[in-house]
Structures are given as structure tokens and as C-alpha cells.
Amino acid sequence: MGVTIKEVAKAAGVAPSTVSRVIADNPRISPATKKRVRKAMKDLGYHPNVNARSLVRSSTQAIGVVMPSSADKALQNPFFPEVLRGISAVAHDLEYSLLLSTGETEEEILEGVQRMVHGNRVDGVILLYSRLRDKVMEFLHEQNFPFVIVGKPNENIDTISHVDNDNIGASKEITQHLIGLGHRCIGFIGGSKDLAVTVDRITGYEQALQQAGLPIKKEYRVHTEFLKSGGRKAVHQLFSLKEPPTGLVISDDLMSIGVINMLEEFGLYVPEDVSIVSFNNVYMAEVTRPPLTTVDINIYELGAQACKCLVEKIQNKNEPAKRIIVPFEIKHRMSTQHLKEETSKRA
């Protein structure tokens, strides 16, 4: 079907090996020959067969991208397209292909990844999530297969390359913002505690509280998958406390939108009644009502750096494990305001 290197060789009157070297731009081939061969390639519409190449080089020019389980709605989070955009940009530059892997269950995902690495389909893998005792991560680690995590590994943090934000710092800073506005009762809403990112953001939140001499109350913390019925109940409880929070640190913009909606049902408005800050700065955060004060974690860069880092690791097997921290930036918008007098008196 396709035209092969041999046909090009014949057309150009050289040996296949010469054509191969022309493709690789090997200096041992004279400029004149190169020109001739290139013409033949163009004339015949030649394109190298990557499978054959992969076979002998035992390296595909491809990297696997592993998404979290698609069972939950988390996948609908614009985080993923955006990080993919970053990965894709540098992959394209470096002439790498992207192999995607998802599945409904963790088991399915693991299968997919195993197919990828055992079958020699990819040279390395990017993990788009980081959860406690993750099978996929364990598998890659024990296979000693090149991979990098977007986020922060829960174990082996020094031997696993990862690119992350300073989530503790970011969370601390944005919580301080709330404190600076006079809030004293500040709640935290986040996803599963198995997610490293959740843990870090709680830590930062608590650090800020502590540093300001504010009490850390367990009942101010709610963990919910993604605003499903269970989530509603939790938020409802939070605002049924004798002393409900006046400020909320929320781990994700999309959650914020859900919470704002829910609060409105209770007759509570943002930012008049409760101030909200969150994370990620997805596009919706700008467009929603009110626009969200949120920390921009630079998702695109997260992806780009991860891809760059992975390729370095692939090309040099004993590149040391790296930890790359991409800077965040707080976007001040309309979802927070100074604590109102009456409410502050209440405290």
C-alpha cells in the first residue's frame, strides 16, 4: 500500500540504507545525494512507517496519558482539556504522539496502561491524577517505566518525577485573603481525601487558620465527590451549624458554582452572605455569577512541563527524578467581600 524506503532507494539510485540516513540527516551522506533522495521521496509521496521504525529502535515516539476513572463526573472538569492542551503542545513540538487511556473503573484503567507499556506502545506515561495507593502508579514504579505525575505522589515522593503547584502555599494565601476580609468562621469544601491535592489544600487552609489564631473545627470541613446528593446534604449540614461559616475555601471552581447555587436555595447569597474562594481558574469561573475569586494554578503549564519532563526522562534513562513547581496566581474577582458588621458581631 504505502511506498517504502526501497522504492525510494531505487528511484534515487541508491541503497535503502542511504535513504534511511537521509531521513536521519546523517552527515555521512553528501548534500548532492541528499537532495536527490529527498526529491525522490517527495515525488513518490514517501512517509516512513513508524511501526517498522519502532520495532528496530524499540521506541515508539508516543507517550501515554492516563485520565482518572470516568465513572465520576470529574472528567467533565475543564481541567483535563486544558492540561491536555499543554501536553499536546509540547508533544507536537517534540514530534511525539499522544495515547489516551481511560476507563470506567480503576481496574480498567490499569489494564489499559498495562497494554500500553507491555505492548511497547509508548515510551513513557503521564498520570493526570494522584491518589493514595494507586495501582497504576505502583505498576509503573515497579516496572521502572518512565512516568511523571501531574500532582503530587503520595508515596516515594523523591523518586517519582512530578509537576505540581505549591498547593499548601496557595491554599494558605487564599485563606489568608478571607481572614484579611474579616472572616473568622471559614469552612473548607473539597474532594476525596485520597487525592493528594485535597490534602495539601486542607493543610494550607489549616496553617492559615492556625497562624491567625483561629480554631480549626472538624465540622467546618466537608468532603464530597462532586456535588451529588451526598454533597448537598453535607453543605446543608454545614450551614445548619449554630455558627455557620461566613467564608468558604473550595477546592475546585466547578464545586464553587454548585455550592453557590445550593446556597441560594437556602436564601444565602454570594458574596453578601458568604464569601467564596476556590481553585483552578477555569474559564467558567470568569463567566459565572458572581465571577469567582480563585487561584489560577496555570493548568496549561502543568501539562507542558509534565510532557517536557517526561521526554527528558525518556531520552536519558538516568535523568534524576524531578519536582517541578509551577507558580500560581490569585485572581481577585467578585465572590468575596468584607464581613458585614452584624455578622461579625455575632462571632
171 within 8 A of 200, measured Cβ to Cβ: yes
Work out whether 32 is an interface residue with DNA (CB under 7 A). Answer: yes
DSSP string, 200-235: HHHHHHHHHHHHTT----GGGEEE-SSSSHHHHHHH
3-state secondary structure of 65: strand
Residue 118's binding partner out of DNA, a second copy, none, with CB under 5 to 8 Å set by partner kind? a second copy
For the chain, counts of helices (H) and of strands (E): 14, 12
Work out whether 101 is an interface residue with a second copy (CB under 8 A). Answer: yes
d(CA 187, CA 24): 59
Residue of 314, 251, 248 lying closest to 281 (CA atoms):
251
d(CA 257, CA 293): 12
Work out whether 58 is an interface residue with DNA (CB under 7 A). Answer: yes
158 within 8 A of 321, measured Cβ to Cβ: yes
64 within 8 A of 122, measured Cβ to Cβ: yes
Residue closer to a second copy, measured from CB, 143 or 159: 143
Window 30-49: contact mask with a second copy (x via CB under 8 A): -----------------xxx
CB of 213 to a second copy, least distance (A): 36
Residue closer to a second copy, measured from CB, 55 or 157: 55
Angle at 123 between CA 119 and CA 128, to 5 degrees: 100
Among 27, 31, 119, 213, binds a second copy (CB under 8 A): 119
Work out whether 51 is an interface residue with a second copy (CB under 8 A). Answer: yes
Residue closer to a second copy, measured from CB, 51 or 240: 51
Residue closer to a second copy, measured from CB, 109 or 195: 109
Residue 116's binding partner out of a second copy, DNA, none, with CB under 5 to 8 Å set by partner kind? a second copy
CB of 20 to DNA, least distance (A): 3
Work out whether 70 is an interface residue with a second copy (CB under 8 A). Answer: yes
Residue of 299, 301, 313, 302 lying closest to 140 (CA atoms):
313
d(CA 231, CA 108): 27
Q: What single-letter DSSP state applies at residue 319? A: P
Among 10, 115, 141, 217, binds a second copy (CB under 8 A): 115
Residues 225-284 that bind DNA (CB under 7 A): none
Residue closer to a second copy, measured from CB, 139 or 182: 139
Residue closer to DNA, measured from CB, 76 or 120: 120
3-state secondary structure of 125: strand
Work out whether 57 is an interface residue with DNA (CB under 7 A). Answer: yes
Quick one: which segment of 24-32, 102-110, 171-179, 293-301 binds DNA (CB under 7 A)? 24-32
d(CA 308, CA 306): 5
- The phi and psi torsions of 145 (rounded to 5 degrees) equal -95, 140
Site size with DNA, rule: CB under 7 A: 32
d(CA 101, CA 108): 9
d(CA 150, CA 50): 28
Residues in touch with DNA (CB under 7 A): 1-2, 4-6, 13-21, 23-24, 27-30, 32-33, 46-49, 52-53, 55-58
Residues in touch with a second copy (CB under 8 A): 1-2, 47-52, 54-55, 58, 60, 62, 65, 70, 73, 75-78, 80-82, 84-85, 88-89, 92, 95, 97-104, 108, 111-112, 115-116, 118-121, 227, 254, 257-258, 260-261, 264, 282-284, 287-289
